[in-house]
Chain A
Amino acid sequence: QVHLVESGGGVVQPGRSLRLSCVASGFTFRNYGMHWVRQAPGKGLEWVAVIWSAVSNIYYAESVKGRFTISRDNSKNMLYLQMDSLRAEDTAVYYCVRDSDNGNYHFDYWGQGTLVTVSS
């Protein structure tokens, strides 16, 4: 079955960087678009970024554009989120999420999330 496991979360100071990873299993990773979605404590869901199965298509939320970079390694079934210039408002649980197709459809599987806390 589909399994998504995030790692890399933790406590980081404002202005610093952090890289999240997600290992995927149970499906042909290269055939699917992948997203990052976050949820601040006690708040709703916010889409962060998508990388299509055709890696040439990458899109970001305005709130992270220019600071975050999404990437993937299809040979390792891995998804990444490089987060630079972190701010307090980036504090959230970050979910690795599979698109139901190439990257332009609904989300069908979610990881359990990894918590990022930005605090001095």
Chain B
Amino acid sequence: DIQMTQSPSTLSASVGDRVAITCRASQSISSWLAWYQQKPGRAPNLLIYKASSLDTGVPSRFSGSGSGTEFTLTISSLQPDDFATYYCQQYNSYSRTFGPGTKVEIK
């Protein structure tokens, strides 16, 4: 199986900050990567697919980049609604794997 890692595991930031989360795959996954946001007690919500494509209705402050084995989710100006846990997920192989998650906390 393809292993996914994320860094940092926790990120403390303030409203208005620019934040970046890194996701790495154990082998090349081309651009077959998605990012999801999850708030406590809720189902995850799709943000980005194919590494850099913004899902419908997702604010433009979210962006994704990367290909191969290294990817980044960037939030250009953190808003109160953005404090949540973020997961990357590869879909290069039929056996899907998620990263362990990055919790974005209020500083």
Contacts and interface: CB of A to CB of B under 8 A. Distances in A.
Interface of A: 35, 44-47, 50, 57, 59, 61-62, 95, 100, 104-108, 110-113
Interface in B6-44: 34, 36, 38, 42-44
Contacts of A47: 89, 95-98
A44 to B, nearest CB: 5
Contacts of A46: 98
A95 B96 CA distance: 15
A43 to B, nearest CB: 9
Contacts of B1: 62
A112 B41 CA distance: 9
Chain B interface main SS type: loop
A8 B101 CA distance: 28
A9 to B, nearest CB: 14
20 contacts: A35-B96, A44-B87, A44-B99, A44-B101, A45-B101, A47-B95, A47-B97, A50-B94, A57-B94, A59-B94, A62-B1, A62-B95, A95-B43, A106-B49, A106-B89, A106-B91, A107-B36, A107-B44, A107-B46, A110-B43
Given A44-B87, A62-B1, A106 B46 contact: yes
Given A47-B97, A62-B1, A110-B43, 11 more contacts: A47-B96, A50-B94, A59-B94, A61-B95, A62-B95, A95-B43, A104-B94, A105-B91, A106-B46, A107-B46, A112-B42
Given A46-B98, A59-B94, A100 B49 contact: yes
A104 B87 contact: no
Interface of B: 1, 34, 36, 38, 42-46, 49-50, 55, 87, 89, 91, 94-101
Nearest to A47: B96
Contact of B50 (A45, A57, A106): A106
